[in-house]
Amino acid sequence: MSIRVCSFESRRCQEMVSLITKFGGVATVAPSMREIPLTENQIAGEFAGRLVRGEIPIVIFMTGIGAATLFAAIKALELWEPAAAELNLRTIIIRGPKPVPILKEHGIHIDYRAPEPNTWKELVSLIDASEISLAGQDVAVQEYGKPSLEFYQALESRGARVYPVPVYRWDFPEDVGPLHAAIRESVAHPFDLMLFTSANQVDNVLAAAEQINLLEPFRQTLEKTMIASIGPTCSDRLRELGFTPAMEPSHPKMAHLVRESLELRTRQQAN
């Protein structure tokens, strides 16, 4: 029996289609998000200025695309050389693997990298285990979409002054037709498996369901459908909204998510 799989992956939607097909599923992939760079260069300029003045001893990079966007904005202001020189004198912490190639490409060192599953909780554990003193320190955090308020509270409880550096925000795709169609399809003919790959994605999909007056029917569908989540941050958001993920993959990677969730769904159907 074919397993109908719905994913709301955006940036890597074609890869998601290929993975679902490769591992035996029938794919419906409807992009749910679009990254909108914050075009006001005052954010990048202020960050660069504070670096050059020696006001920021610790910088935390949360995402690769966020780091790339921030660096591009600093370059556009012709502030890159002094900012990069100062950045290399600071303590640099990264949340996961995606900032690594961006920082290497720009000649920026990395002091600490949080382990999988690369959530803010691992960052806090890393800071504690490495005995990084935050007391009285300004800590710049390159944000990704919505601010991680729990993370900020954890840093502040350790004495840090958090300096958020937002570089992009989330919006709906320019063409919301496929997203709305997938939501309608899920209500009319529930999928066997739904995949979520970020917490922001969950919020956008529910907001899209509300746009077309299907929020409650869609919620009911999610409660009856097997949900697979990429990792703890996404799972926490699902639970906050009243949904229980059936599984998280052994590694927070798309290929692991697709393969392992399809294997689980196949076993469930066999029983």
Which of the given ranges, 81-85, 165-169, 266-270, has the highest pLDDT on average? 81-85
Closest C-alpha to 209, from 195, 220, 197: 220
Q: What are phi and psi of 251, to 5 degrees?
A: -135, 145
Q: pLDDT at position 191, please?
A: 97
CATH number reported for the structural domain that contains residue 52 in this entry: 3.40.50.10090
Q: Retrieve residue 53's tokens.
A: 């003045």
pLDDT band, very low/low/confident/very high, at 271 (cuts 50, 70, 90): confident
Given the structure tokens 């995402």, which residue do they identify? 63
Q: Domain check: are 158 and 250 in the same one?
A: no
Question: % helix / strand / coil in the chain, to the nearest 5?
Answer: 50, 15, 35
pTM exceeds 0.75, yes or no = yes
pLDDT tens string 167-211: 877 889 999 999 999 999 999 999 999 999 998 999 999 999 999
> Are residues 82 and 107 both part of a single domain?
yes
Select from 134, 169, 204 the last residue of a domain: 169
If you average pLDDT over residues 201-226, what whole number do you get?
A: 96
**Number of domains comprising the chain:** 2
Structural domain including 58 reads: 36-169
Confidence bin at 37 (pLDDT 50/70/90): confident
CA distances from 194 to 28, 204, 214, 240, 271 (A): 10, 15, 17, 17, 20
9-37 mean pLDDT: 95
Mark whether 165 and 82 lie in a shared domain. Answer: yes
Same domain, 190 and 162: no
Same domain, 22 and 54: no
pLDDT of 41 > 70? The answer is no
Same domain, 15 and 117: no
**Same domain for 153 and 41?**
yes
In the predicted model, what is the mean pLDDT of residues 125-143? 96
The token pair that represents 163 in the structure block: 């300096």
Could you tell me the two tokens for 111? Answer: 């002091």
Banded model confidence at residue 143, pLDDT cuts 50, 70, 90: confident
Specify whether 82 is located in the same domain as 165.
Answer: yes
- Band the pLDDT of 40: cuts 50, 70, 90: low
Q: At which of 124, 149, 169 does a domain end? A: 169
Same domain, 107 and 220: no
- Whether 11 and 61 map to the same domain: the answer is no
Query: Pick from 188, 35, 19, 102: which is nearest to 7 by CA?
Result: 19
Report whether pLDDT(14) > 90: yes
Q: Which of 144, 169, 194 is the last residue of a domain?
A: 169
Q: How far apart are CA 242 and CA 219, in angstroms?
A: 9
Residue 114 predicted with pLDDT over 60: yes
